[in-house]
Structure 1
Amino acid sequence: MEGVIAKHTESTYTPGYRSEKWLKVKAVLTEETLICGYTDSDKGGTWFGSLILGMYAENTLIYVSNCGSGFSQDEQEGLLEQLKKHVVAENPFGKKINLKGRKPNWVSPQLICEVKFSDMDTK
């Protein structure tokens, strides 16, 4: 379910028209993931492109997603400082993952982050 609609008790529904008296409240899911790396920024003005995230499933580290939004410049700078302390040469997943041409920088999967999302692709 994507979310719910909240409306003012005295408002009426008007097809094709949005009003501040009807609000869409989206469902937000969260999950703790391991930071397994980060990609280089392909745009100027950011410290990194996105975090490369993983989780353990049956004692095997699996790639789950990338996360590149929701960071301020200061947060990105501070996080990159922490990530550089954990850099490793090898991919912690043990196999190639599709990063859509972005250059990965691998880190030891020790740092945990909480990610907010609205839908998880379970392919």
Structure 2
Amino acid sequence: MIPYPKRPYSGTQRIVFTKGIIVAYSRMSKSALLEIHIFIDNNSDSVRGQKRVLDDLQLFQSLQKIDASNYTRKVYYKSEYDLDTIANDIIQEAHRLADLRDCYIEVSIFSKELDKSWD
């Protein structure tokens, strides 16, 4: 049996799992606090899915609630491309969850540290 190579673990090292398999080791050297504003509305009067969409988003995306429509999330990234990918994934996941519950959603993400925003 061949032992795995020992790698020093630091707080910025991240192990990525996909279907129970270790895919990659990467060093995430930068962090950013993302402020997320969410507006959600039902598509019709007979639909009641807003609360479930917000609960699912908080659960799946690890969002910290500030008030009724504002959330924060601290993310670690390696490059600006990684940060753009993370922000776009949050937006796509929000739209997917809202669509499953027949809701309309608008998501805007802003980082004060980087002075960057995503819609």
TM-score where L is the length of structure 2: 0.25
TM-score of the aligned structures, taking structure 1 as reference length:
0.25
More helix by share: 2
Q: Which has the larger radius of gyration?
A: 1
